[in-house]
Amino acid sequence: MATNHDDTRAQKRENIDPKEMIRPIPIAASLVTLGMVVFGVIYLLISEPLTTAQYGDQRTVADLSGSPQTADSNQAAAADGKALYAAQCAACHQANGQGVPGVFPPLDGSEWVQGEPRILANILLHGINGELEVAGQKYQGMMPAFPQLSDNELAETITYIRTAWSNRADAVQAGLFEAERQSGAGRTTPFEGGAALKALMEKNN
């Protein structure tokens, strides 16, 4: 501590510690208090928090369920092929459709994707387990089946992959899946690779 100055001068020079005066609450503060209480009661009454099932911000299920529903009975919501691809396929085939070299075959430029839609539909319905040649390269992998998706969703998905990136093939209707589900009902295992797919192609031709 320096000795050339008074250590307590700051304490000595300051104003007195504050105190409070006793005064009635100003009319403005009373009015604000009263106003807020009235607001609270009215808000509780008009927002009906208990009588209707709502999301917290007053939107209802109808507001949140997306685009208007079609009259077309059981396949209600319009499917979004791109979103389905991102959710179901992109983990292996990648968002750019290039797959992973040597592991997951590409969809972009694939002869299977742009070829006969009936075969592509069967791949999605039953999956593949065996050797498959895509764009000149052999793959030894397993493609799962997607029977849990509706016909409409499957059709939107393959329409998307047939037209995305550099692919330029025709769109596919949900009816194709309906037909192929019935004709392939006997199959319980995935296709055993490219040979089995070719056999299917020739059989129906």
Partner 1 sequence: MDSALLSLLAAFLLSLIGLLAFIWSLRKGLLFENPRAASTIFAPGEIGKADDPALDKDAAKRLQEAISASHQGEPQAEDPEEIEDRIAADRSSAFPVFMFIAFGCMWLILGATAGLVSSLKLHWPDWIVSDAWMTFGRMRTVHIIAVLYGWITNVELGIIVWLLPRLLRTPLKGPLWVMLGGSFINVGIASSIGAIGAGWSDGMEYLEIPWQIGLFIQAGMICIIGSVFYTLLHRKAHELYVSVWYHIAALLWITLLFTVAKLPGVHFGVQQAMTNWWYGHNVLGLWFTPVALGAIYYFLPKTIGRRVRSYNLSLLGFWTLAFFYAQVGGHHLVGGPVPGWLITLSIVQSMMMIIPVAAFSINMAGTMWGRMRLALYSPTLRFMMFGGFMYLLSSLQGSFESLRSIQQVAHFTHFTVAHAHLGAYGFVSMVLFGAVYFMMPRVLHWEWPYPKLISLHFWLASIGIMIYFVFLSWGGWLQGLAMLDATREFMESVRVTIPYLEWRSIGGGLMWLGHMVFVGHLLVMILRFGPNRTGEALFAPEKMKLEMMHGK
Task: Tell me the Cα Rg of the chain.
Answer: 34
Distance CA 114, CA 100 (A): 19
CA-wise closest residue to 182 among 123, 129, 122, 115: 122
Rounded CA gap, 104 and 93, in Å? 6
Question: Binding of partner 1 at residue 147 (CB under 8 A)?
Answer: no
Answer yes or no whether residue 68 interacts with partner 1 by CB under 8 A.
Answer: no
Out of 38, 47, 171, 199, which residue is the one contacting partner 1 (CB under 8 A)? 47
The answer to whether 3 contacts partner 1 (rule: CB under 8 A) is: no
Does the protein bind partner 1 through residue 49 (CB under 8 A)? yes
Residues 171, 175, 178, 181, Cα dihedral to 10°:
-40
**Considering beta carbons, is residue 22 or 185 the nearer one to partner 1?**
22
Examine residue 20 and tell whether it contacts partner 1 (CB under 8 A): yes
Q: In this complex, which beta carbon is closest to partner 1, that of residue 40 or of residue 102?
A: 40
Q: How far is the CB of 182 from partner 1 (least distance, A)?
A: 38
Consecutive H or E run containing 11:
helix 9-13
Q: d(Cα 49, Cα 196) in Å, to the nearest integer?
A: 60
Q: Residue type for 18, please?
A: P
Tell me which of 38, 40, 100, 144 binds partner 1, using CB under 8 A.
40
Q: Binding of partner 1 at residue 83 (CB under 8 A)?
A: no
Whichever of 13 and 203 has its CB closer to partner 1, that residue is 13
Q: Which positions touch partner 1 (CB under 8 A)?
A: 1-2, 4-5, 7-26, 28-29, 32-33, 36-37, 39-41, 43-45, 47-52, 54-59
